[in-house]
Amino acid sequence: MPLGKPMPPGRRCVIGVDLGGTKTAAGIVDDTGMLHATEFRPTPATAGAAAILATAVGLVSSLLAAARAAGLDPVAVGIGSAGVIDARDGSVASATDSLTGWAGTPLAAHLSEQAGLPAYAVNDVHAHNLGEHWKGASAGSASSLLVAVGTGVGGSLILAGEPHLGARAVAGHVGHLASPRAYDDGGRALPCSCGRAGHVEAIASGPSIALLYQRLTGAAVSAGTVPAGTVSAETVSGRDVASRAAAGDAVAMRALAIGAAAAGQAVGGLANVLDPSIVVIGGGVTAAGDLWWTPFRAALRAELMDPLAGLPVVPAALDSGAALVGAAKLAFDRLASASTAPPLENSHA
């Protein structure tokens, strides 16, 4: 997308990066939180860390040139990335197989070296929450819990304007809570992407809902309630299930409702523990509309303690740009902290 509304010459901006398993996006974000020009490229997820970094560097270089040509002043790079990100140095502490060789990558250091600017990195869901908290659905709130339900299930809690990262940068892995719904008809815990089993991601994520639909359809075929050949394990995705549910497929509606209820129960339990000011829900699975939102909200409300009956639970507002805006907010905040830090005193023997 080309540079949009003109900005005053010399205005500070950050190049925000959203690095995911499928797509890497970058955008110019000014210091008011407005997202301007954006670009994206497919993430070479299986090609290794060097190729993934090269894609991000290419996007950042392109947008730095665009920003400077428009008379803007890029001051940093902010990155929201898949994986467990050590926000102290912006390195990748660990990652799943969705990004080959990603664990151990010095992400922020590499982009800083290539861009010639300070660079800061955080997990992509924390970046999403920072964006919503700055300019989206939770703007102005004292605290916010964001849960994203898509290819996986992730979360982020913001307190006093900062994402809670945890002692080991693992905070926010909502998908790896135990769920009583993550079991098959034989009572076996469903496998999760983390290598464990019985977690909410194993029943509530888009791919897990697709697998559930396949299991339910197979059972329905065996019972003679749907014709054989209704479903193919090779072709059905979570998006397909949502489309079939919208068209009135009863099995698809059931699969979607079970996944939504599992997510709602988990989020309700988290709200009981964390008592946030507001809960924001995002991710691609929510695009299924009321067929997802109605069972999600019902399960969440059934889980909440009475004092939380009025808890606001709202859809995310910034769509695909949230993580770009949030990554930029991280960078602006880090720069401000660095500029106000007291100087180190010299010690003399």
Does residue 26 sit in helix, strand or coil?
A: strand
d(C-alpha 57, C-alpha 104), whole Å: 18
- Residue 157: Cβ within 10 Å count: 23
Q: How far apart are the C-alpha atoms of 125 and 174, rounded to whole Å?
A: 11
The answer on 178 and 305 residing in a single domain is yes
Same domain, 117 and 161: no
User: Quick check: is 197 in a domain?
Assistant: yes
CB atoms within 10 A of CB 39: 17
Number of domains in the chain: 2
The structure's pTM equals 0.90
User: Are residues 74 and 202 both part of a single domain?
Assistant: no
Residue 233 and residue 205 share a domain: yes
Q: Which domain holds residue 198?
A: 142-316
Tell me, yes or no, whether 193 and 325 share the same domain. Answer: no
Extract the tokens encoding 288.
Answer: 């299924």
Is the same domain home to 290 and 311?
A: yes
Residues 17 and 54 in one domain: yes
Note whether residue 23 is domain-resident: yes
Q: Is 147 a member of any domain?
A: yes
Residue 312 within any structural domain of the chain = yes
Say whether both 54 and 153 belong to one domain.
no
Asked whether residue 349 is domain-assigned, the answer is no
Per-residue pLDDT of the chain (349 residues; tens, 9 = 90+): 445 555 566 799 999 999 998 999 999 999 999 999 999 999 999 999 999 999 999 999 999 999 999 999 999 999 999 999 998 999 999 998 889 999 999 999 999 999 999 999 999 999 999 999 999 999 999 999 999 999 899 999 999 999 999 999 999 999 999 999 999 999 999 999 889 999 999 999 999 999 999 999 985 544 555 554 555 444 699 999 999 999 999 999 999 999 999 999 999 999 999 999 999 999 999 999 999 999 999 999 999 999 999 999 999 999 889 999 999 999 999 999 987 755 544 433 3
Residues 214 and 296 in one domain: yes
Look up the CATH number of the domain holding residue 231.
3.30.420.40
